[in-house]
Structure 1
Amino acid sequence: MCADVDVPTAHAPRGAAPTLLRTLAAVDVRLFEAVADRHWPGGDRVLPRLSRAANHGVLWFAVAGGLAACGTPGARRAAAHGVASLALASATINTFAKRSVRRPRPLLDAVPLVRRLKRQPVTTSFPSGHAASAAAFATGVVLESPRWGVAVVPLAGAVALSRIYTGVHYPSDVLVGAALGAGAAFAVRGGMAVRRSARRPAAGREEDG
């Protein structure tokens, strides 16, 4: 009888993790469907185009070129940090993250036809590479120039949102991708700080000699 078995409390909730994952997945689907059901003025025209413009980082390279053309040292540093962060985020997503979690793309049944991308992605869904690139570039810009970041962050947010709006990603794909992208920008910042500190002693030795 079950009443005669002494089960330690620490081992009782063995099904807790799968249950939690199922719950989170269900919430993810409900949020995805809520976005699909909501009509945002101008969204059907603007967001799909914005999503396509960010393919392969083209949008961010264009923004970086605009920043560099401004000619100020702060804008050039922001552009360089943003591009380096984007490169690291893209490499991480495409070589490790997407291969580790092979999540299928969302079903498009709930997404209005006008929002759907003409060419659907063929890679796995988790995490969002577009969101990672957008967050990486925007965070890199902010870390170098908060003033330019004010202009770039809303654009990055719109790109991330467009991936849910067009039906190619679940919200969690976008959130995790954005977190990885921001992390890449901070990693690049740390690497730049190490290189700067390494140059100072070398410069000092040359002066002493």
Structure 2
Amino acid sequence: MTGSPPPGPVEERLADRLVDQPGAGAARQRASSLLRRLGGYDRVVYRSVAELSTPRLDEPLRRVSDFANFSKPWFLTAGALAVFGGPRGRRAALTGLTAIGVTSLVVNQPMKKSMGERRRPDRHRLGVPAQRWVRMPASGSFPSGHSASAAAFAVAVGEVIPGFGPVLRVAASVVAFSRVYTGVHYPSDVLVGATVGALFGRVAGRLALRRWPAATRSSQRHDKEHTS
């Protein structure tokens, strides 16, 4: 086991696929070279995060990463919105949970399987301090489901209740960073997951605004009156 090479980031696996195809031309060779460089940067950033001398963050970020399993923060937030947020809060909660559901289905099925269940980073080999470790998931590494769900919920709810958007985006960013900090994901896993989640969150939010346009405009006017 100690003599095996570390698993390469997703960019390097894509590069291998490009050059392994029959008749790979110059364009594929250039794309393969670019992907390998990006893969190198991916590992460099991962190591840089692992080498951060921030012991005071180890326990908080480890707890954040664990707590985010099964989208617990977002389900709890949705519950609070539904109970205390009135009709608008219930619409935002439903929109956010819908975004999580669609995002999780896409990320955990076709996207992860398309990369052949990419292996997780070797935390020991790549220098992640053991005190940061959380349980290593058994699923493929690419893309990050935690980051995708967090971004999907934050963006979707922020579309319906704009005032909540900044706070939820910060919370989602902390969750995403914790996945690299604890060593269970490469940065590319997190970036792609968050991008996919944000996309589905935006779509869910826009559909919700079309579904309840009159109620949303009324709520926004009410907010402006109280902040002006």
* Band of TM-score, shorter chain: 0.7 to 0.9
**Structure 1: tracts of 5 or more residues without a match:** 1-10, 198-209
Contact residue 132 and residue 182 of structure 1 kept, 8 A = yes
Which residue is 2:130 aligned to? 113
The sequence identity of aligned pairs, in percent, is: 43
User: Is residue 187 from structure 1 mapped to residue 206 from structure 2 by the alignment?
Assistant: no
User: Is residue 33 from structure 1 mapped to residue 50 from structure 2 by the alignment?
Assistant: no
Please report how far the alpha carbon of residue 111 of structure 1 lies from its aligned counterpart in structure 2 after TM superposition: 0.3
SS in 1 for 2:184: coil
SS in 2 for 1:84: helix
User: Is residue 131 from structure 1 mapped to residue 141 from structure 2 by the alignment?
Assistant: no
User: Is residue 156 from structure 1 mapped to residue 172 from structure 2 by the alignment?
Assistant: yes
Per mean C-alpha deviation after superposition, the further-off stretch among 61-70 and 126-135 is 61-70
Please report how far the alpha carbon of residue 66 of structure 1 lies from its aligned counterpart in structure 2 after TM superposition: 1.4
Contact residue 147 and residue 197 of structure 2 kept, 8 A = yes
Q: 2:190 aligns with which of 174, 186, 196?
A: 174
Please report how far the alpha carbon of residue 14 of structure 1 lies from its aligned counterpart in structure 2 after TM superposition: 4.5
Q: 1:72 aligns with which of 86, 93, 111?
A: 86
**Structure 2: tracts of 5 or more residues without a match:** 1-24, 214-228
- Larger Rg, first or second structure (1 or 2): 1
Contact residue 125 and residue 169 of structure 1 kept, 8 A = yes
Which residue is 1:55 aligned to? 69
**Aligned mates of 1:53, 1:62 — CA distance in 2:** 11
**Aligned mates of 1:61, 1:100 — CA distance in 2:** 28
SS in 2 for 1:15: helix
Q: 2:29 aligns with which of 2, 11, 15?
A: 15
Q: 2:100 aligns with which of 86, 103, 106?
A: 86
Please report how far the alpha carbon of residue 196 of structure 1 lies from its aligned counterpart in structure 2 after TM superposition: 6.0
Contact residue 75 and residue 148 of structure 1 kept, 8 A = no
Could you list the per-position Cα deviations for residues 102-154 of structure 1 after superposition, in whole angstroms to 9, with x for gaps in the alignment? Answer: 3211110210000011x210111110000000000000111011112232211
Corresponding letter in the other structure for 2:149: S
Number of residue equivalences? 186
Mapping of 1:134-145 within 5 angstroms?
A: 134-145=150-161
**Aligned mates of 1:50, 1:172 — CA distance in 2:** 20
SS in 1 for 2:77: helix
Corresponding letter in the other structure for 1:92: V
Provide the aligned C-alpha RMSD in A.
1.8
Corresponding letter in the other structure for 1:88: V
TM-score (norm 1): 0.82
Corresponding letter in the other structure for 1:104: R
Please report how far the alpha carbon of residue 193 of structure 1 lies from its aligned counterpart in structure 2 after TM superposition: 5.5
